Structure 1
């Protein structure tokens, strides 16, 4: 009992904790972010179809920021800021920063660290990007061909939500493979945005951005801990990207990849500190209030810096990304008037790219790689289950909407954008519904973990 008192397990809880704790538990459920996106998507559709004028007018409301005589609007020039711009170019940079943090963690310590383990998901992701793009270009070769990148993406939040709903019907091997595939898919989508949807590059602005990115790397390298310094460098680099013509979200990805994974405090120092404090507690040495505060401050600082900056930032950002930024993006971009003229070849090309191209590309490339003995299926996964995983990966949504907004950003192509949105929504929801039904039919909860692996040759 004395140990419990020392460790503080019986610390009194504030009355508000009784109300906050259930909310915190709910927000940690994997399917919650996906459910939130579905709700916001329907709200956007409802708003756009009831009053499309107010929907469009709201997101085009001017947004500006002043410091003395300096104005963000004047500084951006042709990029006149609006509420929609704030969401798509500013807040989405934070989303892509979190993607960069996630990718950095996976490359250094996660599934992408071991090339042999990551090879199958990476190859599958490539197949899951090429086939949808080919289907789009075959079905839509004319003026709207610029939208080839729209059906290439996988939405992690929706896909994870669907897998959470399926529970033990999803073998652990498939869950890891699909998550790794989605991360590799994100990397591919970032490359697509950088290469396919950046035009009129201002090299001088990009060079200045590169200087500030180098300073960011250098500040991490020398161990500067002040996040204000990193934040200022990041904002200046982002502003230069806006001016350069390269989409500013790429800046967020790069800074995420630069963020260190190594803890600031060495393990040997932490071990010595724990032993020192432990000895002081055991010996019950008398300490003044100032000494106690100094020890506790040291423990708090050491605890904070014993983890990596990448992990700490990723943990703090995830709730904001999942429950603020992504829902705002969906609200700003998912609204489209559902009417016959909004359905065209673009709609079918995007929907079929997600619904058929994704699972087909993932399955065929995986099949070819395994037959060629380059890699093998994960434990507990056979060919039928792999096909179901490919179907769930056909949920494009967030990234697809983002690419669509870049592909058809010309007002003259507004009808293509509307058609693409209908295709994204219909293709993503069809992939989710059919994927969940298919997995429920072919995988039993009790046997999900014991499904024999598919042939490896």
Structure 2
């Protein structure tokens, strides 16, 4: 039996299951953060995040350190899907690829319609989709959403993450230290050498990855990108001496081991640290500020317009087919869920407005408002929508456990 045929379906199922459950935990973390920020503990909580532990503050350890592990998982998922998954061929890439492109471009344009000058730096904030939150909402709907739409959403979000990584690398990079950049390049060369010479244990890769993270942090490029670079060097092939079906590749082993800690520990910690917006202490005008409106409108209007519009255009032009057993209203509901941009949107907010707490607060309020409304509307649309059967009748879908 082909090992790939065994690994790929269970990997997709585990991804959908873990992301759905992690979305629930992330929702709870965001609510707790908001409650703390708007309670008498708010100032102490903020001071604790700014307290230093070694060379970095606690907030920096979370946003630059723990989130590098999140980006490592993102990179592993991108590599797996492109080489041996839902994005492994051009026919599979067309529909989620065009939908993701529209879902990044239209929200950015809407944001820029509201913002000029210095605040235009936040154009990429509404361009991101939070797959954990979106799949968490879909999990609440059970069998009402076809499995094909869940896979479409997962593939779209992975392409969306790839776009976000490129945006961070090219548009949110500070002044570069050429010495540290050269050192990081040298470490990358070592990692590529590990891959080329058939090194399969993960320990050498992870040890070199820590060194890579240090040099990238010092180079001026955002440190989290070290996680993506490391992921690209992790081998996806099984050990040559043991090509039996029971052997998992280093990439699959690492991805499988990271899903639980990232989904249930790292992302909730990030949510607790960065969703703590003191709404009660802000001036009423903040709700109508250009940044707030641009982010909220970009997520709520731009995402659904871009994703649904570009997807339907691809289907109308016969470049791609409608996902199996899915109707247009269901596709619209999933496109609406793409407006949930919590994790990556807040992360880009930190990069876009590094020295302005007010602009950060405005952007975060826009993220929370746009994400909440997108999630509610997407849930309501999917709850009343029905699928379409073409040929064979469509049966209710469920996510099969990895043990089945």
The question of a shared fold, defined as TM-score above 0.5 by the shorter chain, is answered with yes
How many Å separate the matches in 2 of 1:150 and 1:52? 25
Structure 2 unaligned blocks of 5 or more:
1-13, 396-404
Number of the residue aligned with 1:347: 292
Within 5 Å, give how 1:20-419 maps onto structure 2. Answer: 31-50=20-39, 51-64=41-54, 73=55, 81-266=56-241, 270=244, 303=246, 306-338=247-279, 339=282, 340-343=284-287, 344-410=289-355, 413-419=356-362
Q: Structure 1 residue 445: deviation in Å? A: 11
Instruction: Give aligned pairs, total.
Output: 375
Q: Structure 1 residue 267: deviation in Å? A: 5.6
Change (3 A) 1:176 1:28: closer
How many Å separate the matches in 1 of 2:346 and 2:134? 16
Structure 1 unaligned blocks of 5 or more:
1-24, 65-72, 74-80, 272-302, 452-457
Equivalent residues of 1:168, 1:445 under 8 A apart: no
Equivalent residues of 1:30, 1:164 under 8 A apart: no
Equivalent residues of 1:168, 1:446 under 8 A apart: no
Number of the residue aligned with 1:450: 394
How many Å separate the matches in 1 of 2:201 and 2:309? 48
RMSD: 2.2
Q: Structure 1 residue 206: deviation in Å? A: 1.2
Higher normalized contact order (CA 8 Å, seq sep 6+, divided by chain length):
2
CA displacement 1:50-89 (0-9 Å, x = unmatched): 133212101100111xxxxxxxx3xxxxxxx110010000
Q: Secondary structure at the match of 1:376?
A: coil
Flag as ranges the 4+ runs of structure 1 deviating above 4 A.
27-30, 265-268, 444-447
How many Å separate the matches in 2 of 1:409 and 1:206? 22
How many Å separate the matches in 2 of 1:117 and 1:38? 31
How many Å separate the matches in 1 of 2:388 and 2:311? 25
Q: Structure 2-normalised TM-score?
A: 0.88
Q: Structure 1 residue 197: deviation in Å? A: 0.6
Number of the residue aligned with 1:429: 372
How many Å separate the matches in 1 of 2:311 and 2:17? 32
How many Å separate the matches in 1 of 2:117 and 2:354? 17
How many Å separate the matches in 2 of 1:117 and 1:334? 35
